């Protein structure tokens, strides 16, 4: 198509995107129309003259991806997909209604959304994962990501910048919509485009600075990005917030505000309609969208995972079993990838790296991009296992939240849980991770106690639908299960029981062994206890716990290497609450210190001796 | 002192720091000696020729601050303070023992540590707060922060970089110890110092690139940093990990590994002792440490906070009351400061900014540095209130964890809690924040339901020792308390009760009003319910809850605009568990959608109708 004609057609497309953004938000009575207006030209050119995709098959594995990191511009995204023919235009008028998937911020309830956005600075991390995925599946699809200027203050953006450059992701193109206005005031750099370009260039990106409303410049920038080899490209686009509507253009105070239906909306629509150009009329840009060139090969069906090979009583840390299992899983299923944040020799994910270096992604010490890029990988068909110290997964807590909203199958593992890590001290001890992951309603939370259960659960979590988390421990613990034992997610193991049990003691991970020690000691004193290994906290075996509690005088004691809130005690308590079973929680109740693991278990009240005392104190 | 003599003396001091780092870690059997060795010259020059402080009075409000962002170099920090005379040298041999405050990573149990470090990328954020504090109290003290090169991949570092430059903090000097080796492999940039300098310069810092073992260059760099006006300085120092010990110098595989006592340690100590220079002997550098020049003025005693002025039934959102209260508190106490992440018009912290612009710190959209710099401010005597959407405080979850370990008095507020925010959708809804804050054993967690309780609790949290969190709501709710009502932290309010109550319904925030509606409806149907406003979740009024539960047939129903894990239900359940009271939890149990607030309360099961149904279903 002639460039002048194309630009005219894109001008009209962009104007329609503005119109739909304004109409839909006014109809909803809330939303961010002015944020949409600043980026409309950038998005129109991307969707209708650059990206290769099939509007009727947004999940096509070879199609270019678009991640709206500035998720509050959702109406613009919806308008663009409607304009492309993915769904009828008038549906945008149901924006933000309970019965519509066109939510206030995009979620993967919509087929054309890979990951939920709306918490700023996250989309670019997912875009890194999407770009890595193209390389993984040997596809030439490209990934585009639209960021806001205000959003660029988020540290996660610079984690993504670093990793994308480090990995030479020339299939990734970012666009920063520099409209100069944040929510509550002018942004840090207003329209000083050079500030943005300087930062991205320093981080190793090719940068292009343009007027984001000059469609010729926008088209040229996309072409230049596509031609750039060896490094990702950031297009820094100067724009005007509220562009196209005289009374919102560049005005503060219009962030997140819909135009009032009636005079205000009518005036805006009249102005926008007046911006249609005759030369662009009658051109069906949607029909001319380039389709994906090739469908990447379907990966081979997964093979059975090699079973564990331990002997009973053998000493192995669950973190080490995790590494072993991950390598075995990688051999069985080529969709499995692993991500690290420079602790692979502590989490034992280095065993996977040794076997499958091309499927191992190093994020250095940057947990947010590690989890965010895993989200992008998972959304595009990989089975990613990011792992680090469980304590440092809290660094990515907001990503975990958005992962849950996205429902993507990221399989996280956190090692070095609890005071049992010993001398490194509280900064390295995860004592709130179980609560963090249990909080989300759709994350499987697993906590194996020995090598066999750890290995079996790694395979189980890989094929469990949606996100999952495994907590592993630093100290070696004895293998207590046979290699052919099964560990369904949502189950538990009763390790000790008798007809005379006075209480059920529920542990997981290292505290299983404290409970077993306490059992033996109490038995010698004439008190029988039932001992449960609660290796699956979510989903949880409610029936099994209620049955155990009922069989043991309606009493359960939980013991965990974790703070009380949100952990094992709370999980058990909620599961058995309807049955009126009494739950006593033994947990870490103060900020711990450095010390030897066994000293700390004792000092912070979660060792066998404390279980013994609690059982003896029962009335 | 003659420069050559000084350098000789510093050479010996640095060697002693290496010796003590090696001895202490070998004695402990764990730790990071090689990390200490790379930075020993940088630290020796800083402590003994640059910083102004009193080793006997580390808390002196006018003294220069040193933040060890690379917290795993703790033995070096301890050695430097011992060398300065703060405590006897031989105490370092108790490193990592349960009975010693010389923990594996530094915590403020030690008087010379402002904030706990060891989760990387956080110290520099606290250092920003410390530098802002100097400006606040009109002191010329300077803040120094030592970072690792690997650590620089953390996004929080770049949030701090941006804010420090934006605020022109020329009283802040960072030092990046570029030793080229991470935990598990070479760092991203190895010894390419220009990569670091390029990034810091792009972010607006003055940069100086040096050989970090050339003491003359180190001294010159500190002097240049001190002379630099209008911008912070980053010294990029090339170093050798394990410096001074032939068999560890620049070798991979030595991270986090103590030298074995015996031959290995002896060889290292012999080599280090051999590096002592005669010209440096007999010079007491500790005696020559420059003392702080001035003691900043003590702030005036706080005045009483202006009381709330609402009329019963008046509609006011608790987030708005928060803003009102914050401004009143600011008028009463000049130590109070507020921090924002570009949502001040939503959290209403803009009311504080209008009144006290010089005590309002804008962090743009960067929650980690907002919380981290609040930690630095709190450690130096301010009473900081950082606030943003509660959902986005999860972005700073790891900072919250380290805040708890530090025990610093940061007062966080999170607005827009739960599904009651409505149309913006799940990415903007905090549904796990109560669990996140309750998880930490020493954070007060408050959740007011009306304007009066919100205002009173803002004042209460300011003077509560240690960290605190307040959850506020988006929708307007009626004022239900008189302006002179008191709200002690750790209390609750019984809003409805009779001698015939069949159950206690515990709500907080918006669900208090659902519980009140349900009460009226049930009463009309002949069922009496006790209604509690649990405005303080931590500490919690255990006795009050047990008494209520016992008086209402041993039954409690909790209702919360939050996921179940770690929230109100879990808090109540744990509080009453010993009394055998049955707790039924009504909470949000799936990922919500966009919709109208009242539609969402209904759809996700936490509205009055669901409480009514639950009460009617009681057997």
A residues 497-556 closer than 8 Å to B (CB): none
**Residue A168: exposure state from Cβ atoms within 10 A (0-12, 13-18, ≥19):** middle
Contacting residues of A for B28, CB less than 8 Å apart: 423
Q: Which residue of A has its CA nearest to B619?
A: A578
Per-residue pLDDT at A294: 85
The residues of A assigned a catalytic role are 367
Question: Do A316 and A482 form a contact (C-beta atoms < 8 A)?
Answer: no
Name the CA radius of gyration of chain B, rounded: 27
User: Are A116 and B187 in contact (CB < 8 Å)?
Assistant: no
Hey, what are B453's tokens? 């309780």
- Is the Cβ pair B427, A574 closer than 8 Å? no
B367, B432, B514, B560: the active-site residue: B367
| CB proximity under 8 Å: B 586-605 to A | 588-591, 593-596, 599-600, 603
Q: Report how far Cα A211 is from the mean position of its chain's Cα atoms.
A: 33
Interchain contact, A596 vs B98, CB within 8 Å: yes
What does the DSSP 8-state code read for residue A533?
E
Tally Cβ neighbours within 10 Å of residue B527. 18
* Contact residues on chain B for A28, CB-CB shorter than 8 A: 423
Partner-chain contact A427 B151, CB within 8 Å: no
CA–CA dist B384, B349 (Å, integer): 12
Contact A423 B28 (CB under 8 A): yes
| pLDDT higher than 80, residue A165 | yes
CB-based contact A119 B427, cutoff 8 Å: yes
- Decide if the complex's ipTM is over 0.85: yes
- For residue A125, the chain B residue with the least C-alpha distance is B155
Report the residue of chain A nearest B104, measured CA to CA.
A424
Which residues of chain A make contact with B98, given a CB cutoff of 8 A? 593-596, 599-600, 603
Task: Confirm whether B432 is a catalytic residue.
Answer: no
Instruction: For chain A, give the mean pLDDT.
Output: 97
Q: Which residue in A has a C-alpha nearest to residue B604's C-alpha?
A: A98
Confidence of residue A619 (pLDDT cuts 50, 70, 90): confident
Interaxial angle between packed helices B123-136 and B367-379, expressed in degrees from 0 to 180 and rounded to the nearest 10: 60
Chain B CB contacts of A202 under 8 Å are: 198-199, 201-203
For residue range A471-496, what is the model confidence (pLDDT) as tens digits?
A: 999 999 999 999 999 999 999 999 99
In chain A, which residues have their Cβ closer than 8 Å to the Cβ of B392?
A: 119, 398
Q: What is the DSSP letter of A150?
A: G
pLDDT tens-place string over residues A51-71: 999 999 999 999 999 999 999
Checking DSSP bridges between strand A476-478 and strand A315-317, what pairing results, if any? antiparallel
* pLDDT for residue A293 is more than 90: no
Residues B372 and B613: their CA atoms lie apart, in Å, by 45
Region of A387 please: left (phi>0), alpha (psi -120 to 50) or beta. beta
B600: left (phi over 0), alpha (psi -120 to 50) or beta: alpha
Residue A586: its pLDDT value, please? 98
Whether A573 sits inside 8 A of B578 (CB atoms) is no
Residue B323's closest CA among B275, B401, B387, B382? B387
For chain B, say whether A104 makes contact (Cβ under 8 Å).
yes
**A124-161 pLDDT tens trace:** 999 999 999 999 999 999 999 999 999 999 999 999 99
A378 alpha-carbon distance from chain centroid:
9
Measured between alpha carbons, how far is residue A365 from residues A397, B153, B311, B373, B476 in Å?
16, 5, 53, 21, 43
Q: From the list A159, A364, A423, which residue is nearest B96 (CB)?
A: A423
pTM higher than 0.80: yes
C-alpha distance from B286 to closest chain A C-alpha (Å): 29
CA distance B437 to chain A (A): 9
Q: How far is CA A156 from the centre of its chain?
A: 13
pLDDT value for A446: 98
Question: Alpha-carbon distance A191 to A207, whole Å?
Answer: 16
How far apart, in whole angstroms, are the C-alpha atoms of residue A535 and residue A219?
Answer: 54
The reply to whether omega before A539 is within 30° of 0 (cis) is yes
Alpha helices in A234-317, H assignment, sequence order: 263-273
A428/B104 touch (CB, cutoff 8 Å), yes or no: yes
> Quick one: pLDDT at residue A1?
86
Q: How far is B116 from chain A (nearest CA, A)?
A: 8
Crossing angle of the two packed helices B510-524 and B608-616, in degrees rounded to 10? 50
**Upstream peptide bond of B539 is cis (omega within 30 degrees of 0):** yes
Q: How far is A5 from chain B (nearest CA, A)?
A: 38
pLDDT of residue B410: 98
Would the pLDDT of A379 be above 90?
A: yes
> B116 vs A441: CB contact, 8 Å cut-off?
no
Nearest CA in chain B to A562: B439
Report yes or no: B70 at the A interface, CB cutoff 8 Å.
Answer: no
User: Mean pLDDT of successive 10-residue segments in chain B (619 residues)?
Assistant: 96 98 98 98 98 96 97 98 97 98 98 98 98 97 98 98 98 98 94 98 98 98 98 98 97 94 98 98 96 90 98 98 98 98 97 98 98 98 98 98 98 98 98 98 98 98 98 98 98 98 98 98 98 98 98 98 98 95 97 98 98 95
Taking a contact as any Cβ pair under 8 Å apart, which residues of chain A between 417 and 456 contact chain B? 422-428, 431-432, 435-436, 438-442
Closest to B92 in 3D by CA, of B119, B110, B69 = B110
Q: Are B171 and B141 in contact (CB under 8 A)?
A: yes
pLDDT at B1: 86
Do residues A55 and A85 make contact, with C-beta atoms less than 8 angstroms apart? yes
Task: Spell out which residues of chain A touch residue B340, defining contact as CB-CB under 8 Å.
Answer: 184
Residue-wise pLDDT for A408-423, tens only, equals: 999 999 999 999 999 9
A155: contact with B, CB 8 A cutoff: yes
């Amino acid at each position: 198509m002639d460039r002048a004609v194309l630009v005219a057609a894109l001008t009209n497309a962009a104007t329609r995107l503005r119109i739909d953004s304004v109409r839909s938000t006014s109809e909803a009575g809330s939303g961010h129309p002015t944020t949409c207006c600043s980026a409309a030209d950038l998005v129109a050119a991307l969707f209708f003259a650059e990206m290769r995709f099939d509007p009727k098959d947004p999940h096509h594995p070879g199609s270019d991806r678009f991640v709206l990191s500035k998720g509050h511009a959702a109406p613009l995204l919806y308008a663009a997909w409607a304009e492309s023919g993915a769904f009828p235009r008038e549906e945008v008028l149901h924006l933000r209604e309970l019965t519509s998937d066109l939510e206030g911020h995009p979620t993967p309830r919509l087929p054309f959304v890979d990951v939920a956005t709306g918490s700023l600075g996250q989309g670019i991390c997912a875009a890194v994962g999407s770009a890595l995925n193209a390389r993984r599946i040997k596809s030439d699809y490209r990934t585009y990501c639209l960021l806001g200027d205000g959003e660029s203050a988020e540290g996660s953006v610079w984690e993504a910048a670093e990793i994308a450059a480090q990995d030479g992701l020339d299939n990734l193109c970012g666009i920063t919509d520099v409209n100069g206005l944040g929510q509550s005031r002018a942004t840090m750099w207003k329209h000083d485009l050079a500030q943005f370009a300087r930062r991205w260039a320093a981080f190793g990106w090719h940068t292009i600075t343009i007027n984001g409303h000059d469609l010729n410049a926008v088209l040229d920038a996309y072409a230049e990005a596509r031609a750039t080899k060896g490094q990702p490209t950031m297009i820094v686009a100067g724009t005007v917030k509220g562009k196209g509507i005289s009374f919102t253009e560049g005005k503060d105070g219009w962030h997140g505000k819909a135009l009032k239906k009636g005079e205000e909306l009518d005036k805006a629509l009249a102005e926008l309609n007046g911006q249609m150009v005759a030369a662009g009329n009658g051109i069906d840009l949607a029909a001319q969208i380039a389709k994906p060139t090739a469908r990447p090969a379907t990966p081979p069906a997964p093979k059975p995972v090699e079973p564990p090979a331990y002997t009973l009583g053998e000493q192995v840390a669950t973190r080490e079993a995790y590494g072993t299992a991950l390598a075995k899983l990688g051999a069985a299923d080529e969709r499995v990838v692993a991500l690290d944040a420079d602790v692979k020799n502590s989490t034992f994910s280095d065993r996977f790296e040794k076997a499958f270096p091309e499927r191992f992604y190093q994020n250095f010490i940057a947990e947010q991009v590690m989890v965010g890029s895993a989200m992008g990988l998972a959304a595009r068909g990989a089975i990613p296992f990011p792992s680090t110290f469980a304590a440092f997964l809290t660094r990515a807590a907001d990503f975990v939240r958005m992962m849950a909203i996205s429902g993507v199958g990221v399989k996280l593992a956190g090692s070095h849980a609890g005071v049992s890590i010993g001398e490194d001290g509280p900064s390295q001890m995860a004592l709130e991770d179980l609560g963090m992951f249990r909080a989300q309603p759709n994350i499987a939370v697993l906590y194996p106690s020995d090598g066999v259960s750890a290995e079996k659960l790694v395979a189980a979590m890989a094929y469990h639908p949606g996100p999952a988390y495994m907590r592993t421990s630093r100290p070696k613990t004895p293998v207590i299960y046979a290699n052919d034992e099964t560990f369904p997610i949502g189950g538990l193991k009763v390790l000790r029981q008798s007809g005379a049990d006075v209480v059920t003691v529920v542990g997981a991970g290292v505290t299983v062994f404290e409970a077993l020690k306490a059992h033996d000691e109490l038995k010698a004193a004439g008190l029988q206890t039932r001992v449960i290994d609660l290796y699956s906290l979510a989903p949880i075996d409610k029936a099994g716990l209620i049955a155990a509690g009922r069989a043991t005088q309606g009493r359960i004691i939980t013991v965990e290497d974790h703070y009380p809130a949100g952990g094992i005690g709370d999980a058990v308590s909620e599961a058995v609450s309807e049955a009126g079973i009494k739950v006593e929680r033994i947990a870490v109740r103060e900020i711990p210190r450095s010390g030897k693991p066994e000293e700390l278990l004792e000092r912070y009240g979660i060792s066998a001796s404390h279980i013994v005392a609690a059982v003896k104190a029962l009335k």
